[in-house]
Structures are given as structure tokens and as C-alpha cells.
Amino acid sequence: MPKNAQEGIKVNQPKSIDERNAVANTCAANLELKIPFAVDGMDNKIGEAYAAWPDRLYIIDKDGKIAYKGGPGPGGFKVSEMSARFEAMIDGRK
């Protein structure tokens, strides 16, 4: 049984941008996210442009360029690799 089902988490596919934003905000609040995040429009243009399905982690630098692109998740997530890249950016090592 998937972890979300074990924890009683069920999210219906949003039918409007307001519903999609509500799901994202609930997720961010429950996970106590302290970082900025973006919600794709109902057309999924960003997801398609970034090959984000099923999910993917990115770091976008201050110039709006991709500084890190993780593998497809959740199996492709390499948190230590992403953290190292983020730390390097903070330290000024682009």
C-alpha cells in the first residue's frame, strides 16, 4: 500500500487553478516547507517544458536559469547532490 494511502492522504485531481493552489498550499503547510515553490497552470506547460512528471527537483538560480536538474522522482532524487549544489550556490561557487 502506498505511503499516502497508509497515512489517509487522498487528493482528487484538481479541476481548477484555485483547487490546484489549495492542494499545493496544504502540501507546503503539512511538510512545513520554508522554500518558495511554484504551481503549474492547468495546461501543465511548465511540467511539460521541464519534463517534471511524475516529479522532479530543480534549483533555479537568481538569473532564472536551471542550476540543478534532478532525476525523475522519487527514485531519481539525490538529495545530497541537490543540497551540495544549493550550498555551492549560497557560498558563491556557481
Residue 70 structural domain = 50-94
Per-residue pLDDT at 94: 56
Per-residue pLDDT at 23: 92
Per-residue pLDDT at 93: 64
Per-residue pLDDT at 45: 92
| Judgement on whether residues 89 and 55 belong to the same structural domain of the protein | yes
Number of domains into which the chain is organized: 2
Per-residue pLDDT at 33: 80
pLDDT tens, 8-17? 888 889 999 9
| Judgement on whether residues 21 and 38 belong to the same structural domain of the protein | yes
Asked if residue 70 lies in contact with residue 78, where contact means CB atoms within 8 angstroms, the answer is yes
Per-residue pLDDT at 17: 97
Q: Is pTM beyond 0.85 here?
A: no
| Judgement on whether residues 37 and 60 belong to the same structural domain of the protein | no
The parts of the chain modelled with pLDDT lower than 70 are: 93-94
Report the C-alpha gap between 34 and 77 in whole angstroms.
19
Q: Does residue 3 lie in a domain region?
A: no
Q: Give the 3-state DSSP-derived string for 40-66, with helices as H, strands as E and coil as C.
A: CCCCCHHHHHCCCCCCCCEEECCCCCE
Q: Does residue 16 lie in a domain region?
A: yes
For 80, list phi and psi in degrees, rounded to 5: -65, -40
Asked if residue 20 lies in contact with residue 14, where contact means CB atoms within 8 angstroms, the answer is yes
Asked if residue 78 lies in contact with residue 71, where contact means CB atoms within 8 angstroms, the answer is yes
Per-residue pLDDT at 41: 95
